[in-house]
Amino acid sequence: MNDPRLAELSRALPDLKLTTDSGDLEHYGRDWTRRWHPAPLAIAFPATVDEVQAIVLWAFAEGVAVVPSGGRTGLSGGAVAANGEIVVSLDRMNRVLAFDPIDRTLTVQPGMPLEAVHKAAREHGLIYPVDFAARGSCQVGGNIATNAGGIRVIRYGNTRQWIAGLKVVTGTGELLDLNRGLIKNASGYDLRHLVIGSEGTLGIVVEATLSLTSPPPPSQVMLLAVPAMDALMRVFAEARHRLTLGAFEFFTDRALHHVLAHGAQRPFGEISPYYVVTEFDAQDEAQQAAALELFEFCLGEGWVTDGAISSSEAQAAALWRLREGITESLAQYRPYKNDVSVRISSVPDFMRDMQALLDAEYPQFDVVWFGHIGDGNLHINVLKPADVDDDRFVAQCEHVTKLLCDTLTRHGGSISAEHGIGLVKKPYLGSVRSEAEIALMRGIKAVWDPAGIMNPGKLL
Ligand code: MLT
Ligand code: ZN
């Protein structure tokens, strides 16, 4: 440790795992955005809450910026460390601390991968229902910091709904014990909810008490080929009416093209502009029949043109792969990602307007739409054409985002639905939050983090 500040930290915390190895700096300084060159000062791997507190107190005294770091699966640059920060990796704080069968809560350390949380809940006959494709790599602390959404929001809501208690170390090194697992707590501002979705700008989550619930009944998965967005919305309304939905996702023919090229299996011959993957309770014959009736009805109305329904777990997994494999299949093109939301009812008009602008200005772009359409949450990935150089593509994408912001403003939407603002969307925060709102956000940050050391430059 050549840096005297790090030498001081090591002296104060002799058991703290601390590294300045160049491979570690590179690895822990990045997230999945891959846009910034990582350049942190060091990576710390605390094993206890006391160590996290001591690191923050040291950073406060030395004026060193702190980047809290989970699985770094974020897509907005929220976990990037490119300016001499100390990265606080929660990798070693990855245990279950308590399970309470009466409260139905699981208290965990923040570095537990989401998949491990799922497993721990299942061991008690319960589920933690927040779920998305990065479940094996992301960590629950990061999920809380970003209020992660995913494929089950339509049924269970975002991460926010499942956090019964939080311990947080603020930017002054203070440890807060927020809400303590209470269901009812009408004692003023609920500070827990300020931390959820704050992207590490207010403090570091060091412990979380998660609410669990009963597993849903057995389900089936149905894939539908849909000719138009208006028809898709009608299918959605009808499906919500007739079935108990666990998921309602969509993707376009371009997404299908890429996921098939990446090894997924074509479910049926029909080529269609849009596809829906929906999961629904199919506990008994009546529920299974309702799904078939829905399909017949939508076919009769001309809202769907083909479909496939799972009759085994393997088939359900194969249908899910068509949706969950999209991100991976696009990764080789280093897509310019957008994650937006509008009211569900505004989805067709918003898509029409946005696609018309893209067709007019960038007809050469391969634009891949997919996402959680049942939540009004659309992912718009723009793939770089082979003959456009990196700089030109970045400039074009910035213009695409400008078009997107204008279109979202017209439709009352948000520039980030679930991926967060981070670095990527920071320039556009003002298009979806008012000046008064942003001033309040800055004021809140100044109280929690007066030295401005907590994930500076992100979000605000
Ligand atoms: C998804 O819904 O698949 C994720 O948000 C990831 C992505 O947008 O690529
Ligand atoms: Zn998503």
User: What contacts 165, CB < 8 A, 6 or more positions away?
Assistant: 105, 107, 177, 178, 179, 180, 181, 182, 192, 207, 208, 209
Is the CB–ligand 1 distance for residue 327 below 6 Å? Answer: yes
For the Cβ of 72 lying below 6 angstroms from any atom of ligand 1, the answer is no
- Confidence band (pLDDT; 50, 70, 90) for 69? very high
Per-residue confidence (pLDDT) for residue 334, from 0 to 100 = 85
Q: Measured from the CB, is residue 379 less than 6 Å from ligand 1?
A: yes
Question: How large is the average pLDDT for residues 389-402?
Answer: 92
Contact 347, 233 (CB under 8 A): yes
Among 3.30.465.10, 3.40.630.30, 3.40.50.1820, 3.40.50.720, name the CATH number for the domain at 96-211: 3.30.465.10
**Domain segments of the chain as ranges:** 4-89, 96-211, 219-327, 334-436
How many Å lie between the centroid of ligand 1 and the Cα of residue 222? 20
The amino acid at 237 = A
334-436: CATH class: alpha beta
* Closest ligand 1 atom to Cα of 419: 5
Q: What is the pLDDT of residue 75?
A: 92
Q: What's residue 1's pLDDT? A: 74
CATH number of 219-327: 3.30.70.2190
Q: Which of 379, 381, 383, 416 to mutate to test the pocket of ligand 1 (most atoms within 8 A of CB)?
A: 379
- Ligand 1 atom closest to the CA of 371, numbered from 1: 2
* Ligand lying closest to the C-alpha of residue 377: 2
Query: Mean of the pLDDT values across residues 214-234?
Result: 97
Question: What average pLDDT does this structure show over 431-444?
Answer: 96
User: What per-residue confidence (pLDDT) applies to 84?
Assistant: 97
The 10s digit of each residue's pLDDT in 269-325 is 888 999 999 999 999 999 999 999 999 999 999 999 999 999 999 999 999 999 999
- Confidence label for 34 from pLDDT (cuts 50, 70 and 90): confident
Does 121 score more than 90 pLDDT?
Answer: yes
Predicted confidence (pLDDT) per residue in 332-369, tens digit = 888 999 999 999 999 999 999 999 999 999 999 999 99
Residues 6+ apart with CB under 8 A from 412: 342, 343, 346
Cα of 95 from ligand 1 centre, angstroms: 27
Instruction: Report the nearest-CA residue for atom 9 of ligand 1.
Output: 327
CA–centroid distance, 375 to ligand 1, in Å, is: 13
* Confidence class for position 35, pLDDT limits 50, 70, 90: confident
For residue 381, give the ligand nearest its CA.
1
CA of 8 to the centre of ligand 2 (A): 42
Assigned fold of 4-89: 3.30.43
- The angle, 0 to 180 degrees and rounded to 10, between the axes of the packed helices 347-361 and 390-411 is 150
User: What is the residue with the minimal CA distance to atom 7 of ligand 1?
Assistant: 327
Same fold, 219-327 and 334-436: yes
Question: How far does the centroid of ligand 2 lie from the alpha carbon of residue 197, in Å?
Answer: 15
Q: Identify which ligand lies nearest to the alpha carbon of 328.
A: 1
Give the H/E segment covering residue 313.
Answer: helix 313-324
| Mean pLDDT, range 15-38, rounded to an integer | 95
Q: Which helix (H) or strand (E) holds 278?
A: strand 274-281
Give the pLDDT of residue 2.
83
CA of 156 to the centre of ligand 2 (A): 15
Distance 449 CA to ligand 1 centre (A): 31
Average pLDDT, the chain: 96
Question: Is the confidence at residue 141, as pLDDT, over 90?
Answer: yes
Tell me, what's the pLDDT at 268? 87
The first and second tokens of residue 7, run together, are: 């030498």
**CA pair distance 131, 148, nearest whole angstrom:** 9
ipTM of the shown complex: 0.98
Q: Which ligand is nearest to the CA of 74?
A: 1
pLDDT of res. 393: 92
| Closest atom, ligand 1, to C-alpha of 324 | 3
Is pLDDT larger for residue 143 or for residue 2? Answer: 143
* Å from CA of 378 to ligand 2 middle: 8
Report the C-alpha gap between 156 and 131 in whole angstroms: 10
Which atom of ligand 1 is closest in space to residue 323's alpha carbon?
A: 3
Closest atom of ligand 1 relative to the 372 alpha carbon: 2
pLDDT above 80: residue 255: yes
Q: Give the mean pLDDT of 191-215.
A: 98
Residue 327 CA: which ligand 1 atom is closest? 9
The pLDDT value given to residue 269: 85
pTM of the complete model: 0.95
pLDDT reported for residue 116: 98
Nearest bound ligand to CA 325?
1
- Measured in Å, residue 313 CA sits from the centre of ligand 1 at 23
